Amino acid sequence: MLEVTHETAGPAPSRTPRWTRESAWAIYGLPFNDLLFRAQSVHRQRFDPNRVQLSRLLNIKTGGCPEDCGYCSQSSHHATGLVASRLMDVEAVVAEARKAKQGGASRYCMGAAWRNPKPRDMDAIVAIIEGVKALGLETCMTLGMLDRDQADRLSGAGLDYYNHNVDTSERFYPSVITTRTYADRLETLEHVRQSGMKVCCGGILGMGESEEDRVDMLVTLADLPEPPESVPINRLIPIAGTPLANADPVEGLEFVRIVALARIMMPTSFVRLSAGRSAMSDEMQALCFLAGANSIFVGDTLLTAGNPEEAADRKLFRRLGLEAL
């Protein structure tokens, strides 16, 4: 049986966590075969194990971000050679979304390199959401921090998900980012939740954090008042010119263990195998699917980084007997 602590009823001033570091760590440390068997068993209770959602991600505004995230090529603090751009035209974004749908994607994600959206950009953002929604695609955006009014406006436009990753544990976070706090990130997640949108929130592995930090990150997510409906697990793509350009890669089986733990701790969430797939073998990706990952990003680029070619993904799906959700 899982060592899960449930919420208590009544007018208690604070909610009892669903998970503790100790209970999560005990699951993480199981023998590998036992961990994957448990994760796959949980996965099959709520999802078709042979169907994977295809998502596509478009950078609708590139570079020039004032945040100093140590992994990001789009930060104005780092000499990565990336040229900043303005927000894309509404029609251009919708045209790209239409191509994505024709290519088999059912979910369309859009990212802008901002600390937070400016009032002058909100009308265009709303129009983009409405245009992409009209195509019948599930929509997600990541635009930086939001206040409650901004979250309400995005929700009113029909945005399904808002992505705002915590990236890592609260302990390790200041080693990666100094221009906004962990509390800032959690505040945006609360605004998103209160607005009625679904939360997309995960992290990045391979930034120099410990295994304990990775587990603690999942405890933070699983113990939110409502766990995220979408949990992207990213493998760091080292970018020249960033502080993490020479970071040691996360060990493959450690990565798979985190995917499995995320599936067990957040059984109803989509666990998204996100950035870093280009450096993963087919066998490692297969283990991630076995561990409960059920969404990937397709397309040759992921924001400003590489991603497996679509032909490679189709070949992998055929080999594994997977179908697009």
Residues with a known catalytic role:
65, 69, 72, 109, 140, 200, 272
Which H or E run includes 323? strand 323-324
Structure tokens, 91 = 């029609």
Q: How many angstroms separate the most distant Cα atoms in the chain? A: 56
DSSP 8-state symbol, 82 = P
Distance CA 13, CA 17 (A): 13
Distance CA 37, CA 41 (A): 6
In this structure, are residues 32 and 226 in contact, taking their beta carbons and an 8 Å threshold? no
SS3 content of the chain, % helix, strand, coil (to 5): 40, 15, 45
In this structure, are residues 162 and 151 in contact, taking their beta carbons and an 8 Å threshold? yes
Q: If you count them, how many residues does the chain have? A: 325
Q: Exposure of 237 by Cβ count < 10 A (0-12 exposed, 13-18 middle, 19+ buried)?
A: buried
DSSP 8-state symbol, 49 = T
DSSP 8-state symbol, 161 = E
